[in-house]
Amino acid sequence: MKLILPALLSAFLLLTLSSVAQAAPTAADLRFDLDYTVELLPRTDQARVHILLGQSGERVKEISFEFDAKRFSGFTASKGKLERVGKQVLWRPAGAGSQLSYLVRISRDRGDGAFDARMTADWAIFRGDRVIPSLRVRMSKGASSRARLQIKMPAGWTNVDTGWMRGSDGRFIIDNPERKFDRPIGWMVAGQIGTRRDRLGTTEVAIAAPKGDPLDRMDALTLINFVWPEFESAFGKTPRKILIVGAGDPMWRGGLSGPNSLFLHSERPLISENATSTLVHELVHVVTRIRGKDRSDWIAEGLAEFYSIELIYRAGGMTDERHEKVYQWLANWGGKVKSLRGESSNAETTARAAVLLRALDVEIRQRSKGERSLDDLARALRKMRAVSTADLVAASEKLLGGKSTVLATPLLR
C-alpha cells in the first residue's frame, strides 16, 4: 500500500503538469492574420485601402488613428463599430472578417512644387506610412500579427515593389520584430517600372524607376556593389532587402530614406563634386536606422555624411589627398556653425558634424591603439536607435575608457 500511494501521486502530478503545459498558449497560438490591400486609382490620384482581420482576428479589440481630412475620406467598416470624431477614427472590430476601408490621396506637394509622393497615369511612388497612418491598437495580451500586403494595380501597369520580401503568393510579408501589429511602411513603387536587382551578401537590393526616367540604375547598383563590403564591415547585420526608387522632376530634388528603402531624385549625382554621396548617405540611414532625439538630429545626419565619405574611401574610391580635401571643404562649409544642437540639421550643421565625428574617430583609434573606431560607436548607437547628445557622449566615454577631448566642445551645448 505504501508503494502504491506514491506511485499514484506521481502519476497524478505528471498528468496535471502535462495538462497545464498543453493549456498554456504559445506565441504562435496568439498570432492573428492581418491583410492590407492598397488598390491604386490613378484617375482620381487616390488609393483604396483595406485593413482586414483574418484568422484569430478577435484578438484585436480596438484600432484608432488620426488623419488629414484633406487626404483621407470614405471610412467604412464591414463589421464592428466605427466612429469618426473630428480628425480621429476609432474602430472596434468584431473578430475575423472585420475590414476597415478608406480612400487616401497619393500625390503630396511639399509646398514648393516638389513632390515626395506622386501618381501619374503610368506609375506611382509613395510611402506606405503616408497611406496607412500610425495606428494605436489595443489587443489581447501577447497577441501579434502575421501581416501581408497586396498592391492592386490598374490595367497596363506591370511591376510593383516595396522594401519588404515577397511571399510565394505574390504578397509582401510585413514582419517588423519591433511591432506587435505590423504596418507596411517605407517606399513603394508601382506601374510601368524598370528595375535592376542584385543580392549583396544577405541583402537583396532593388533599384527601380519609371521606364524612360534618367535614373542610372546600373551605375547606382555598381556603386553599391563597390562599397557594400565596407557597409557590412562597419555596421554588421544589414536588412534583408533594400528598395531604392528614383524619379525626376517634379519629385523632390534630393534623397529621402525610409525603413528598408529610400528615394533618390534621378538627377542627383551618385557622387557630388565635393566627393560626398547622397546615395551612400541615405543608405547609411537605411542600414543603421539611427535617429536623433532631444535636439540631436546632428548625430544621424553627421554619421550619414561621415560614412558617405569614409566607406567610399575605405573601398578605394578616393586617394588620401582627396580624402583630406573633402574634410577641409566640409570644415570651411560648416565653419560658422556655433552649435550642432537642433530638431533638424541643415547642410552646414551636417558638414560640421561630420568633421567633429571624424575627429572623434581619430581619438578613439589613438586611445585604443587601433583596436576601436567610430564603427564600434555606430554599432552601439544602432542598438539604441533614438539617440541624444548625452547618449553619444556616454557611449563614446565607455569606448574611450574616460572623457573625450573632442566632445568637450561648445558645439554640443
> How much is the mean pLDDT over the chain?
93
Q: Measured on CA atoms in the order 42, 46, 48, 49, is the torsion positive or negative?
A: positive
Predicted confidence at residue 3, as pLDDT, reads 44
What is the mean pLDDT of the segment spanning 178-196?
A: 96
Locate cell 547606382: which residue? 220
Based on C-alpha coordinates, what's the Rg of the chain?
Answer: 25
Q: Up-side HSE of residue 299: CA atoms within 13 Å toward CB?
A: 28
**Residue 74 pLDDT more than 50?**
yes
In residues, how long is the chain? 413
Q: Where are the beta strands (DSSP E) in 291-363?
A: 291-292
Predicted confidence at residue 324, as pLDDT, reads 97
Phi, psi of 139 (to 5 degrees): -130, 170
Instruction: Tell me how far apart the alpha carbons of residues 268 and 255 are, in angstroms, rounded to a whole number.
Output: 8
* Share above pLDDT 90 across residues of the chain, in percent, rounded to a whole number: 90
**Residue 6 pLDDT more than 60?**
no
Tens-digit pLDDT profile for residues 275-332: 999 999 999 999 999 999 999 999 999 999 999 999 999 999 999 999 999 999 999 9
**Residue 237 pLDDT more than 80?**
yes
Instruction: For the chain, report the end-to-end CA distance as a whole number of angstroms.
Output: 81
What confidence category does residue 21 fall into, taking pLDDT thresholds of 50, 70 and 90?
A: very low
Contacts of 164 (CB under 8 A, 6+ apart): 149, 172, 173, 174, 175, 184, 186, 241, 260
Q: Where are the beta strands (DSSP E) in 168-274?
A: 172-174, 187-191, 193-200, 203-210, 241-247, 255-258, 261-265
Tens-digit pLDDT profile for residues 22-53: 545 555 679 999 999 999 999 999 999 999 99
Q: Measured on CA atoms in the order 204, 284, 342, 382, is the torsion positive or negative?
A: positive
Residue 9: Cβ-neighbour burial (10 angstroms; 0-12, 13-18, 19+) = exposed
Tens-digit pLDDT profile for residues 322-380: 999 999 999 999 999 999 999 999 999 999 999 999 999 999 999 999 999 999 999 99
Task: Report pTM.
Answer: 0.91
* Closest to 383 in 3D by CA, of 262, 258, 289: 289
Measured CA distances, 228 to 129, 134, 209, 378 (Å): 27, 32, 21, 17
**Residue 1 pLDDT more than 60?**
no
Residues of the chain with CATH 2.60.40.3650: 31-191
**Residue 2 pLDDT more than 90?**
no
Instruction: Tell me how far apart the alpha carbons of residues 104 and 122 are, in angstroms, rounded to a whole number.
Output: 18
CATH topology of domain 31-191: Immunoglobulin-like (2.60.40)
- Answer yes or no: are the C-beta atoms of 353 and 374 closer than 8 Å: no
Higher pLDDT pick, 223 / 10: 223
Tens-digit pLDDT profile for residues 97-129: 999 999 999 999 988 889 999 999 999 999 999
Instruction: Tell me how far apart the alpha carbons of residues 145 and 156 are, in angstroms, rounded to a whole number.
Output: 33
